């Protein structure tokens, strides 16, 4: 689990600036996560991986919407 207790705002800001603004990047991550999820036998772990895949899908959609609003 990510330990955020010792992280100050400037560190979070620096990390957030490195997030790709390309929806294709996030869509590819989603597809990769789905591919991994289909190979997992444990239902609990599979559900976690599917949740990750869905999160990447939401990020891809959000990035695409933001890009279209800026045009």
pLDDT-above-90 percentage for the chain:
62
Residue 46 counted as domain residue? yes
Residue 25 counted as domain residue? yes
Tens digit of each residue's pLDDT (9 = 90 or more) over 23-40? 999 999 999 999 999 999
Residue 33 counted as domain residue? yes
Domains of the chain: total: 1
List the one residue out of 61, 67, 70 whose CA is nearest residue 27. 61
Residue 16 has pLDDT above 90, yes or no: no
pLDDT of residue 5: 59
Residue 56 has pLDDT above 50, yes or no: yes
Residue 15 counted as domain residue? no
Which residues, including other chains, have CB under 8 Å from residue 43's CB and lie 6 or more apart?
Answer: none
Can you give the residue range of the structural domain that contains 38? 20-69
């Amino acid at each position: 689990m990510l330990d955020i207790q010792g992280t100050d705002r400037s560190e979070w800001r620096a990390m957030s600036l490195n997030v790709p603004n390309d929806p294709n990047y996030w869509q590819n991550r989603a597809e990769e996560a789905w591919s991994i999820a289909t190979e997992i036998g444990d239902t609990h772990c599979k559900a976690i991986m599917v949740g990750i895949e869905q999160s990447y899908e939401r990020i891809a959609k959000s990035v695409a919407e933001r890009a279209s609003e800026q045009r």
